[in-house]
Structure 1
Amino acid sequence: MLNLPAEFISKYQKLLGQKQAQELFDAMNQPAKKAFRINTLKEQREVSYSLNQPIPGLKNAYYGQINGQDPEAISGLVYSQDPAAMFPAMIADIHPGDKVLDLCAAPGGKSTVIAEQLKGKGLLVANEISNIRVKALRENLERWGVINALITSASPEKLVQPFTQFFDKIIVDAPCSGEGMFRKNPEAISYWSQDYVMTCQKRQKDILTEAVKMLKPGGELIYSTCTFSPEEDEEIVSWLVEQLGFKILPIKVNTSAVESGHPDWANNDPAIKETLRFWPNDNLGEGQYVAKLQLVEREKSTSTKVKKRKTHQNKAKLTSSESALVAEVLKPFNLPLELANWSTSCLVSQNHVYLPAIEANNMHFKIISNGLELGILKKKRFEPSHQLALILGQRKQKQVVNLGKEDYAKYIHGETIRLESALHGFVLVSCQNCVFSFGKITNNVLKNFYPKGLRK
């Protein structure tokens, strides 16, 4: 039984009335909803989990709990996510070729949805200011097989300089008081107060003030929170319209398990009814609020551009000898179209060979990764990256060793595997036909290339 603060109970009794408030409180004491999505970037989409309970209004999303150590999860075929939290990135209606910013991106659920919609075309900038949480963001985007992402760890104001009026769409899943996650994370109750709600509102306004500077005229902002608080939801949307030049757009979702926003909880703008509220008592997922807005067309910025500083980042094209080393490793594999021109497009930085998602010399903040890292050049050899294995695993391959469950458990623990195989050299390693790593076969021994930081 959740120990909800008296101030919280009183607040929602006033907002919702006694009956609906009690329905909310009762739902918050029920088990949290578990769900997962299937990665549509992969050609092979068969999973061992039941698909008997699809989530209404979403494609390739199902109720059920996955095991994070199963081959489907390790390979990036499935992703565990709260059902309601799946909607904001879907609502964004992103198209291949768009330039999209996921401003508060960790752990990566929304970024993986964005990447699926982009289909390897355009650009995803996935930003997370927390040095700890950005590691999970990178791991999840690598598992998902995302090839066109720039992953950054910076405050919003630092992103503005290279990205002024740059993005077609920006998703801000804002830091909030987390009321909608109380039953999933009861610890969040301990730091809730009305003062904390107002602190969150101020932080959200600060973030959005910078975000709007990076949106193209006519571009779209998807604003979401996992809280019920009108101060962080309808009031923020009213503020975006009144102060930052947005208009509210209608949202189409194919489910009745949602409620419209409440104009009377803000400035009585009837357009707020176009925003969406997800309540636990609607039995879809956890609490969520989503609004879709468009920046009213205005003239392009005429402010003086900041002069680019010269940088010395020691980045260069591949030499012919380096290219030959990479080509020898890649030759047995079926490459995606995005890698067709790797030999002329790749850059080398500190012996790391990568295909950049964007030219980054004028970006003076922490870049976690830029595009696809193919691997690392070592003395007279090339070692392919874990990220490349997961990209190649999206397509059918012949240079693959498929392990049984027992050998799979040993491999992700870091052990070498003795086997009989006609293959040699670098191979993709899979289990249940889910590619999750590189390996190297020498004398019937599969040398382990599963990253040490991921081993269990």
Structure 2
Amino acid sequence: MKLPVKFLDNMKEILKDEFDTFFKSYDEKRYYGFRINTLKISVEEFLKISPFNLSKIPWSTDGFYYEEDIRPAKHPFYNSGLYYIQEPSAMSPVEFLDVKRGHKVLDLCAAPGGKSIQIASRLQGEGMLVTNDINSNRVKPLVKNIEMYGVHNVLVVNDSPDRLCKNFEGFFDRVLVDAPCSGEGMFRKDEKLIKSWEKDDISIYPKMQREILDEAGKMLKVGGKLVYSTCTFNKDENENMIQEFLDKNDNFELLNIEKIGGISEGLGVKEVGRLWPHKLNGEGHFLALLQKVDGETKEYKRLKNKKKPECFEEFEKENMNISLDGNFITINDNLYLAPKDMIDIKSLKAVRTGLLLGKVVKNRFKPSQALAMALKKEDFKRVINLDSNDTNVIKYLKGETIFTEGENGFNLVCVDGYPLGFGKLNRGTLKNGYEKSWRWV
């Protein structure tokens, strides 16, 4: 791997005696990991059914290493949202965010959504997650992941931090800023990023990070916590950025990052955390934990609950063993179940205002893929439960017609008891309802 000379010179200055060990780490294999989605299955239960040979990631409560020759994205458990494939170091920021059930949490630079799903697993359906990305192309995979992994207490936004702040100043208990950065920690994972680093002007990142961090701080409640993280190594985007923020904002204090699992202290700032590729099995990350200790408190009123549409109520009675409660919102024929902590938002580009239940057209309700993924097997009256080794699973994921026994009508199609999507059965023939844009090719 040919690393940029300017990058190497900077790392020599930073690491000094450790540089040679750091440099040699680029000749070693990269590490692969995924996190178990505890919104759908516990760690213990997944390990009982896991088809993979796994080993624990020390800084993650639900993360595991897997071997390079394994292809977990080609197993149907991936499509049922039981795990999220993620670089091991990238699992660390949410671990230190200290998310509790009922919290209101913002993931400000969220795409493709791995950390948002991790936050949602801590919320366990309570509180509210606002997940945002300013890039309209990047927000598409964010939406898919939010839906595939069964996150329902969520507002997905495609907007700028300053516009978000106009709606949510002093609103959140926790804020994650996994900031856009020069990506020096991703060189071993993707060598194309080396060319981008050499070609692009990386001096743009501190300005961008500074603006994002300033707005993020305003959206935090007094007493709330903020994690700032990057996947790069230089000090200007990390320690220097945090010190500059603290110098400008005396109502924030820096909390200590616990040094577990090989996480090191920062460069001249002991309280922050550094994940180095020569000290642990991961690509590298930077972490800083901030707490807002003073400021004004704002009060927000929740949206008043709106009545459940009759067509959806009929769908529930006919097909479901549960009845959903809350705030039902219809936007352009799309029916949403909004988070209970939802407030009135103005002029924001909201992409998902809660769980997309389905479409209401001419007073008829058609259920969505997102609804299927948010349900449990026992929530639905008619279920087609396929074994993970059954060839019909792959046929279903490809959008093909399946011939199977069962009761006529809407069925929830599951693999080993975990939902994949809907289908409509008629005399042994299942009309495939799997989301077209998700289908295997």
TM-score, normalisation: structure 2: 0.90
2:217 aligned residue: 212
Instruction: State whether structure 2 residue 270 is matched by structure 1 residue 251.
Output: no
Query: Could you tell me how far 1:90 is from its partner in structure 2?
Result: 1.3
Name the CA distance, whole Å, in 2 between partners of 1:181 and 1:437. 34
Pick which of 372-381 and 35-44 moved more. 372-381
Which amino acid is 1:454 matched to?
W
Alignment of 1:181-220 (within 5 A): 181-192=186-197, 196-220=201-225
Structure 1 residues 350 and 121: alpha-carbon distance in aligned structure 2, compared to 1, 3 A threshold = same
Query: Could you tell me how far 1:397 is from its partner in structure 2?
Result: 5.6
Alignment of 1:190-339 (within 5 A): 190-192=195-197, 196-245=201-250, 246-252=252-258, 254-255=260-261, 257-263=262-268, 272-300=269-297, 317-319=307-309, 321-331=310-320, 333=321, 335=322
Please give the secondary structure, in 1, of the residue aligned with 2:109.
coil
Q: Is the 8 A contact 2:225 2:292 kept in 1?
A: yes
Q: Is the 8 A contact 1:198 1:231 kept in 2?
A: no
Q: Please, which of 332, 340, 348 is the counterpart of residue 365 of structure 1?
A: 348
Query: Could you tell me how far 1:43 is from its partner in structure 2?
Result: 4.2
Please give the secondary structure, in 2, of the residue aligned with 1:273.
coil
Q: CA RMSD in A?
A: 2.3
Structure 1 residues 384 and 6: alpha-carbon distance in aligned structure 2, compared to 1, 3 A threshold = same
Q: Is the 8 A contact 1:168 1:215 kept in 2?
A: yes
Name the CA distance, whole Å, in 1 between partners of 2:199 and 2:394. 48
Structure 1 residues 177 and 380: alpha-carbon distance in aligned structure 2, compared to 1, 3 A threshold = closer
Query: Could you tell me how far 1:158 is from its partner in structure 2?
Result: 0.9
2:96 aligned residue: 91
Query: Could you tell me how far 1:351 is from its partner in structure 2?
Result: 2.8
Name the CA distance, whole Å, in 2 between partners of 1:323 and 1:12. 59
Instruction: State whether structure 2 residue 58 is matched by structure 1 residue 56.
Output: yes
Name the CA distance, whole Å, in 1 between partners of 2:276 and 2:430. 50
Query: Could you tell me how far 1:254 is from its partner in structure 2?
Result: 3.8
Q: Is the 8 A contact 2:10 2:234 kept in 1?
A: no
2:33 aligned residue: 35
Query: Could you tell me how far 1:301 is from its partner in structure 2?
Result: 7.1
Which amino acid is 2:285 matched to?
Q
Q: Please, which of 411, 425, 430 is the counterpart of residue 427 of structure 1?
A: 411
Which amino acid is 1:368 matched to?
V
Alignment of 1:162-173 (within 5 A): 162-173=167-178
Which amino acid is 1:449 matched to?
G
Query: Could you tell me how far 1:53 is from its partner in structure 2?
Result: 0.8
Which amino acid is 1:103 matched to?
L
Structure 1 residues 28 and 41: alpha-carbon distance in aligned structure 2, compared to 1, 3 A threshold = same
Name the CA distance, whole Å, in 1 between partners of 2:348 and 2:14. 43
Pick which of 118-127 and 188-197 moved more. 188-197
2:425 aligned residue: 441
Please give the secondary structure, in 2, of the residue aligned with 1:11.
helix
Query: Could you tell me how far 1:431 is from its partner in structure 2?
Result: 2.2
Pick which of 239-248 and 109-118 moved more. 239-248
Query: Could you tell me how far 1:165 is from its partner in structure 2?
Result: 1.1
Q: Deviations over 1:151-195 (max 9, x none)?
A: 000011111111011111110000000000000011111132598
Instruction: State whether structure 2 residue 9 is matched by structure 1 residue 14.
Output: no
Q: Deviations over 1:346-393 (max 9, x none)?
A: 223333221112546432121110111222224464221111111113
Q: Deviations over 1:118-159 (max 9, x none)?
A: 111111000011111111111111111111010000011111
Name the CA distance, whole Å, in 1 between partners of 2:343 and 2:295. 27
Q: Is the 8 A contact 1:373 1:387 kept in 2?
A: yes
Pick which of 212-221 and 79-88 moved more. 212-221
Q: Deviations over 1:198-217 (max 9, x none)?
A: 32111100111211121112
Q: Please, which of 138, 142, 145 is the counterpart of residue 147 of structure 2?
A: 142
Please give the secondary structure, in 1, of the residue aligned with 2:236.
helix
Pick which of 350-359 and 221-230 moved more. 350-359
Name the CA distance, whole Å, in 1 between partners of 2:332 and 2:295. 43
Pick which of 27-36 and 355-364 moved more. 355-364
Which amino acid is 2:14 matched to?
L
Please give the secondary structure, in 1, of the residue aligned with 2:73.
coil
Query: Could you tell me how far 1:253 is from its partner in structure 2?
Result: 5.2
User: Where does the alignment leave 5 or more consecutive residues of structure 2 unmatched?
Assistant: none
Q: Is the 8 A contact 1:51 1:62 kept in 2?
A: no
How many percent of aligned residue pairs carry the same amino acid?
A: 38
User: Where does the alignment leave 5 or more consecutive residues of structure 1 unmatched?
Assistant: 264-271, 306-314
Structure 1 residues 24 and 41: alpha-carbon distance in aligned structure 2, compared to 1, 3 A threshold = same
Q: Is the 8 A contact 2:377 2:383 kept in 1?
A: no
Name the CA distance, whole Å, in 1 between partners of 2:298 and 2:153. 27
1:455 aligned residue: 439
Query: Could you tell me how far 1:407 is from its partner in structure 2?
Result: 1.2
Structure 1 residues 151 and 162: alpha-carbon distance in aligned structure 2, compared to 1, 3 A threshold = same
Q: Is the 8 A contact 1:120 1:147 kept in 2?
A: yes
Query: Could you tell me how far 1:252 is from its partner in structure 2?
Result: 2.6
Kindly tell me the number of residue pairs found equivalent between the two proteins.
Answer: 425
Name the CA distance, whole Å, in 1 between partners of 2:9 and 2:59. 33
Instruction: State whether structure 2 residue 13 is matched by structure 1 residue 3.
Output: no
1:151 aligned residue: 156
Which amino acid is 2:133 matched to?
E
Which amino acid is 1:290 matched to?
L
Name the CA distance, whole Å, in 2 between partners of 1:83 and 1:395. 33
Q: Is the 8 A contact 1:43 1:395 kept in 2?
A: no
Which amino acid is 2:257 matched to?
I
Structure 1 residues 330 and 360: alpha-carbon distance in aligned structure 2, compared to 1, 3 A threshold = farther
1:105 aligned residue: 110
Q: Deviations over 1:386-432 (max 9, x none)?
A: 111111137676632123531111111111111122x2211111223
Q: Deviations over 1:303-332 (max 9, x none)?
A: xx9xxxxxxxxx97444x42443333443x
Please give the secondary structure, in 2, of the residue aligned with 1:58.
coil
